[in-house]
Structure 1
Amino acid sequence: MIVAFSVTPIGTGEDVGEDVAEAVRVVRESGLPHRTDAMFTSVEGEWDEVMDVVKRAVDAVKARASRVSVVLKADIRDGVTDGLTAKVARVDELLGGPERAG
């Protein structure tokens, strides 16, 4: 399964970078395949291990803020591995190659 999620502290001001970094640190230390972009962090693995990482990431932010917002989207599909890169590679293939920043 792949879970894309974001964790946002509420009531800590406009700059939430340090709080979000703590959540991303949990994901990176988990050892699971992951990717972080400007809006979400995606993590891939089995249900229990992915949800444990999400919970620990939320707890890391909650330790810094009394209120936390979580947005989560899950793609639950048995037998899929390396979905984080394979899905993007397939779209790139259909479009004739990887997108280049411009």
Structure 2
Amino acid sequence: MIVAFSLSPSGGDAVDADGGMSAAVAAAVRVVRESGLPHQTTAMFTYLEGDWDEVMDVVKRAVDAVAELAPRVGLVLKADIRPGHTGEMTGKVERVDRHLG
């Protein structure tokens, strides 16, 4: 299973001195990186690969980490559920690249 998710903290201590939310987002990314699961963080989403229970546990813990700094957390989540397949976070890209030559 691959999950793409994005967390949006609102209010509270989540707002950085410059008006951004990077400290709260960093709390979530730390949870992902410490999970040991394959992952990739981009400017708008974090991708995570593993089985259902592992991935959803990490997403929940990431939300909880942000919620410690913000009274409200928005979550956008998209999942590619394909039992029996692993390494697809990079495998999908490699297959497309082969077509591109």
TM-score normalized by the length of structure 2: 0.91
Whole-Å Cα distance in 2 between the matches of residues 41 and 33 of structure 1?
11
Which one-letter code corresponds to 2:52 in the other structure?
A: W
What runs of 5+ residues in structure 2 fail to find an aligned partner? none
* 2:96 corresponds to which of 84, 91, 94: 91
**Structure 1: runs of 5 or more not aligned:** 97-102
User: Which of 37, 41, 45 is residue 40 of structure 1 equivalent to?
Assistant: 45
TM-score, normalisation: structure 1: 0.90
Q: Please give the alpha-carbon distance, in whole angstroms, between the structure 1 residues aligned to 2:27 and 2:99.
A: 36
CA-to-aligned-CA distance 1:29-76 (integer Å, 9 cap, x gap): 000000110110010000001000000000000000000000000000
Q: After superposition, what is the alpha-carbon deviation per residue over 1:76-97, rounded to whole angstroms, capped at 9, x for unaligned?
A: 001111011000111111111x
Q: Specify the SS of the correspondent of 2:70.
A: coil
Matches for 1:16-95 after TM superposition, within 5 Å: 16-95=21-100
C-alpha RMSD of the superposition: 0.9
**What residue is the counterpart of 1:10 in the other structure?**
10
- Distance (Å, rounded) in 2 between the aligned partners of 1:94 and 1:40: 25
Number of paired residues?
Answer: 96
| Secondary structure in structure 2 of the residue aligned to 1:39 | coil
Percent sequence identity over aligned pairs: 67
